[in-house]
């Protein structure tokens, strides 16, 4: 097992490092989330911006690890240390940010920096990722989602307004999906029951975690 340290535990290692399946795990960290999908006038994806505001309990645990001057808050230099830690820690999990076209995942470039903010006892992290390949939003719907395969961190997008389209043509439309856990669990179990001899259940429930994630589909008219 990897050595657990401070923020790296909750954001990066968490349940992922010990192999807990999503169906058996439950969230320990909660992030009130927002995503900005940035494009250009031609309907191409330019970048994906994430804003994660963490719950007070987790935020207080970060203070314990990073508050070097003991003032009970995170000052600019301490926030920089937090951001550097997170940048290194969650790269292995693709920064929990996923873009797909049909069944194919789109590779994203890692963020150059992560910015940390401290406000009213809560930590907020902001960062931007760019696609490593051209993504034309006019050809077919493109899906955007944020989730932790281990279900250790829960990213909450409570309504459609949490996904914003920026600098894209007015012909672009978004479709918001917030799965019903009971319905998705039933569908997942049905799919498992129909597996043929020799086929295996997805390891660690990764596909199930993806099914439970809130997502947005974006498509622009030609």
Neighbours of 37 (CB within 10 A): 23
> Average of pLDDT values for 153-160?
93
Strand pairing category for 215-220 and 142-146: antiparallel
Query: Please, which residues have CB within 8 angstroms of residue 208's CB and are 6 or more apart in sequence?
Result: 22, 23, 184, 185, 188, 202
pLDDT beyond 80 at 6:
no
Reported confidence tier of residue 205, pLDDT bands at 50, 70, 90: very low
CB 182 within 8 A of CB 109: no
Query: Please, which residues have CB within 8 angstroms of residue 64's CB and are 6 or more apart in sequence?
Result: none
Length of the chain measured in residues? 222
CA distance 49 to 190: 35
> How does DSSP classify residue 138?
T
Report pLDDT for 181. 63
Reported confidence tier of residue 203, pLDDT bands at 50, 70, 90: low
pTM higher than 0.85: no
Give the domain ranges of the chain: 6-220
CB 73 within 8 A of CB 63: yes
Reported confidence tier of residue 171, pLDDT bands at 50, 70, 90: very high
pLDDT beyond 70 at 62:
yes
């Amino acid at each position: 097992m990897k050595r657990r340290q401070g923020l790296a535990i909750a954001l990066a290692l968490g349940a992922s490092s010990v192999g807990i399946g999503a169906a058996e795990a439950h969230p320990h960290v909660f992030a009130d989330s927002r995503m900005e999908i940035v494009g250009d006038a031609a309907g191409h994806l330019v970048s994906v911006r994430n804003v994660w505001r963490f719950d007070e309990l987790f935020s207080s645990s970060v203070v314990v690890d990073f508050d070097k001057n003991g003032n009970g808050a995170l000052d600019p230099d301490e926030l920089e240390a937090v951001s550097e830690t997170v940048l290194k820690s969650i790269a292995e999990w693709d920064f929990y940010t996923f873009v797909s076209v049909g069944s194919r995942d789109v590779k994203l470039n890692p963020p150059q920096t992560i910015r940390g903010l401290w406000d009213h006892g809560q930590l907020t992290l902001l960062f931007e990722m760019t696609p490593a390949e051209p993504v034309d939003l006019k050809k077919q719907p493109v899906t955007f989602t944020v989730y932790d395969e281990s279900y250790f961190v829960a990213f909450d997008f409570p309504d459609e307004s949490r996904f914003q389209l920026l600098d894209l043509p007015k012909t672009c439309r978004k479709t918001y999906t917030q799965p019903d856990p009971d319905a998705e669990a039933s569908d997942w179990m049905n799919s498992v029951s129909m597996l043929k001899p020799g086929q295996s259940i997805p390891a660690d429930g990764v596909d199930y975690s993806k099914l439970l994630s809130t997502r947005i589909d974006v498509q622009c008219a030609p």
